[in-house]
Chains A and B, each alone.
Chain A
Amino acid sequence: MKSKKHFRIGESLSGYLFVLPNFLGFFCFTFFPVLFSFYLGFVDWDIIKPMKFVMFKNFNKLMFFHIREITEGGLRFPWTLEMDVIFCCMMFVASALLVLRFFIQQMQYCRQATGKYFFRGTFNLIPAILILVSAGFFIRWMSMLEMLPGNAYNSYFIRANLILNAGNFLGFSLLLLFVAMIFSFLGAYFRSYDFRFEKSSDVFLAFLPGAVILLNIFPVWGFSNDIWAANDPYFWQFLGNTLFMMLAIPIGMFASLGLALLMNKKLKGIVFFRAVYFLPSICAGVALYVLWRWIYNTDLGLLNTILGYIGIPKVEWLTSTAWSKPSLMLMGIWTGVGGYNMILYLAGLQGIPLDLYEAADIDGASGWQKFWSVTWPMLSPTTFFIFVMSVIGGFQGGFDAAYIMTGGGPAGSTTTLSYYIYNNAYAWFKMGYAASIAWVLFALVFVVTLFNWKFGGKVVHY
Chain B
Amino acid sequence: MVKQKTKTKFVSSLKEMGLLKRVFYYAMLSFIGITMLLPFFWMVSTSLKDEGEVFSFPPTWIPSETNYFTSYDKVLVNSVIEYREEKNLTGGIEDVRALAAEAPDSAEMGLNIKIIKRTSEVKILSGEYEGRKVDIDSSLVSNYVPNWLTPWEKKPAVPVGEIMKSLGFMERGDRIPAGFRAKVPCEILNVKIFVKIADEKNPLLDEKCWIPADKLKKEWKPALKWDNYPKAWDALPFGRAYINSIIVALLVTFGQAFTSSMAAYAFARLHFPGRDKIFLLYLATMMIPGAVTMIPVFIIMKIAPDMLNLVSAKIGTFFYQLFGGSPDVQILTEFWDSKFEILGHYIGRPIGLDSYFALIVPGLCSAYGTFMLRQFFMSIPVDLEDAAKIDGCSLFGIYIRIILPLSKPALATLITFTFMAVWRDFMWPLIVCSSDQMKTLPVLLASFQGVYNTQYTLLMAASLIVLMPVILVFLFNQRFFIEGIQLGAIKG
* Distance in angstroms between the alpha carbons of A293 and B265 in the assembled complex: 46
Tier of interface size on chain B: 35 or more
Beyond A22-B370, A278-B478, whether A441 also contacts B289 by CB under 8 A is yes
Other A-B pairs, 11, CB within 8 Å; known A34-B293, A279-B37: A11-B272, A12-B273, A18-B265, A22-B365, A47-B302, A47-B303, A279-B474, A353-B8, A403-B426, A438-B295, A449-B287
Binds A, one of B95-103, B201-209, B442-450: B442-450
Tell me which residues across on chain A come within 8 A of B33, comparing CB atoms.
Answer: 273, 276-277
Tell me which residues across on chain B come within 8 A of A264, comparing CB atoms.
Answer: 8, 10-11
Tell me which residues across on chain A come within 8 A of B265, comparing CB atoms.
Answer: 18
* Distance in angstroms between the alpha carbons of A350 and B10 in the assembled complex: 9
Beyond A23-B278, A32-B296, A354-B9, whether A300 also contacts B302 by CB under 8 A is no
In the complex, the answer to whether A283 meets B426 with C-beta atoms within 8 Å is no
* Distance in angstroms between the alpha carbons of A253 and B294 in the assembled complex: 30
Interface centre among B55, B271, B365 (most CB of A within 10 A): B365
Beyond A12-B273, A29-B293, A37-B296, whether A285 also contacts B263 by CB under 8 A is no
Nearest A residue (CB) for B37 = A276
In the complex, the answer to whether A292 meets B39 with C-beta atoms within 8 Å is yes
Binds B, one of A133-141, A184-192, A243-251, A336-344: A336-344
Residue A241 CB within 8 A of the other chain: no
Nearest A residue (CB) for B290 = A396
Tell me the A residues contacting B by CB distance below 8 Å.
5, 7-8, 11-16, 18-19, 21-26, 29-34, 36-37, 40, 47, 259, 261-268, 270-271, 273-280, 282-288, 290-295, 297, 299-300, 302, 305, 308, 334, 338, 340, 343-344, 346-350, 352-355, 357-358, 382, 395-396, 399-400, 403-404, 418, 421-422, 425-426, 431, 434-435, 438-439, 441-442, 445-446, 449
Residue B68 CB within 8 A of the other chain: no
In the complex, the answer to whether B292 meets A439 with C-beta atoms within 8 Å is yes
Tell me the B residues contacting A by CB distance below 8 Å.
4, 6-14, 17, 22, 25-26, 28-29, 32-33, 35-40, 42-43, 46, 54-55, 57-59, 258-260, 262-263, 265-267, 270-273, 275, 278, 281-282, 285, 287-300, 302-303, 361-362, 364-365, 367, 370, 395-396, 399, 420, 423-424, 426-427, 430-431, 441-443, 445-446, 449, 456, 459-460, 462-464, 466-467, 470-471, 474-475, 478-479, 481-482, 485-486, 489-490
Of the residues B25, B32, B42, B443, contact of A302 by C-beta under 8 Å = B42
Of the residues A288, A355, A404, contact of B446 by C-beta under 8 Å = A404
In the complex, the answer to whether B292 meets A266 with C-beta atoms within 8 Å is no
Beyond A262-B25, A264-B10, whether A5 also contacts B38 by CB under 8 A is no
In the complex, the answer to whether A422 meets B281 with C-beta atoms within 8 Å is no
In the complex, the answer to whether A15 meets B289 with C-beta atoms within 8 Å is no
* Distance in angstroms between the alpha carbons of A36 and B292 in the assembled complex: 10
Nearest B residue (CB) for A386 = B489
Interface centre among B17, B26, B36, B273 (most CB of A within 10 A): B36
Tell me which residues across on chain A come within 8 A of B275, comparing CB atoms.
Answer: 15
In the complex, the answer to whether A290 meets B282 with C-beta atoms within 8 Å is no
* Distance in angstroms between the alpha carbons of A334 and B42 in the assembled complex: 15
In the complex, the answer to whether B270 meets A14 with C-beta atoms within 8 Å is yes
Beyond A274-B482, A285-B442, whether A266 also contacts B456 by CB under 8 A is no
Of the residues A5, A344, A382, A449, contact of B485 by C-beta under 8 Å = A344
In the complex, the answer to whether A357 meets B427 with C-beta atoms within 8 Å is no
Beyond A30-B293, A37-B292, A302-B38, whether A266 also contacts B11 by CB under 8 A is yes
Nearest A residue (CB) for B289 = A396
Tell me which residues across on chain A come within 8 A of B299, comparing CB atoms.
Answer: 36, 47, 431
21 residue pairs bridging A and B, Cβ less than 8 Å apart: A7-B272, A12-B270, A14-B396, A15-B271, A18-B270, A25-B362, A30-B365, A31-B281, A261-B10, A266-B12, A276-B33, A277-B32, A290-B446, A294-B456, A334-B36, A340-B485, A344-B486, A418-B291, A418-B427, A441-B291, A441-B292
In the complex, the answer to whether B272 meets A12 with C-beta atoms within 8 Å is yes
B310 to chain A, nearest CB (A): 16
* Distance in angstroms between the alpha carbons of A12 and B263 in the assembled complex: 13
Tell me which residues across on chain B come within 8 A of A422, comparing CB atoms.
Answer: 291, 427, 431
* Distance in angstroms between the alpha carbons of A259 and B270 in the assembled complex: 45
* Distance in angstroms between the alpha carbons of A441 and B275 in the assembled complex: 30
Of the residues A7, A8, A265, A300, contact of B25 by C-beta under 8 Å = A265
Tell me which residues across on chain A come within 8 A of B267, comparing CB atoms.
Answer: 19
In the complex, the answer to whether A302 meets B39 with C-beta atoms within 8 Å is yes
In the complex, the answer to whether A25 meets B364 with C-beta atoms within 8 Å is yes
Beyond A29-B293, A267-B26, A302-B39, whether A22 also contacts B270 by CB under 8 A is no
